Amino acid sequence: MNEASKLRVSELDFNEIKNNFKKYLKSQDYFRDFDYEGSTINSLLDILAYNTHYNSFYLNMVANEMFLDSAVLRSSLISLSKQIGYKPRSRTGATANVNLVFSTETNVNSLTVPKNTKIFSTINGINYTFCTNTAYTVSNPTLNSTIFVSNVLVKEGEPLLIDLPLILLILLKDLYYQIEVLTVLQ
């Protein structure tokens, strides 16, 4: 088999891939006398070359994501780091233990700070929002007008509250609507 009849697959550049296809086809008896520049076969060669170029680029990216040194995507880095025993963590908001002081005009027996109560703070002109992660209840047996709530754990940011039954209801409603539309169309 002569050298011209072999298809070279070592090129990754689009033009080189297309030229390799042309050389290969010209070496075949059936395609020897075709005009490769101004015909439909030129469009087919473009499609083949683009497809080959895209596949080589994709496979190169996949190969890069398989190694810790060359991976770019966070999901690949996390997966690769788990293989060597490292447990990656995401960023988390700051936490603090604070003491809260409440002044009331009426005497109350107890005070409850509900879960996800927002607490606002400004430090050096920067506004911060903190939230409680649990409910805190303190009793006030002496009926003082000032109530202290000690060691309240707060976390920076606001919690993401999702109403799961509502989301499921919306999804089911959409599914029902789609099923209804399908039955009408049939």
**CA torsion through residues 174, 180, 185, 186, sign:** positive
Q: Give how far Cα 94 sits from Cα of 97, 129, 170, 177, 180, Å.
A: 11, 10, 35, 44, 49
> Do 90 and 74 form a contact (C-beta atoms < 8 A)?
no
Flag whether pLDDT at 179 surpasses 70: no
Q: Give how far Cα 160 sits from Cα of 5, 73, 95, 116, 171, Å.
A: 63, 25, 17, 10, 20
pLDDT tens digit string along 128-154? 888 888 999 888 767 677 888 888 899
Which residue would you say has higher pLDDT here, 139 or 6? 139
> How sure is the predictor about 125, in pLDDT bands with cuts at 50, 70 and 90?
very high
The residues with which 137 forms a beta bridge, in sequence order, are 112
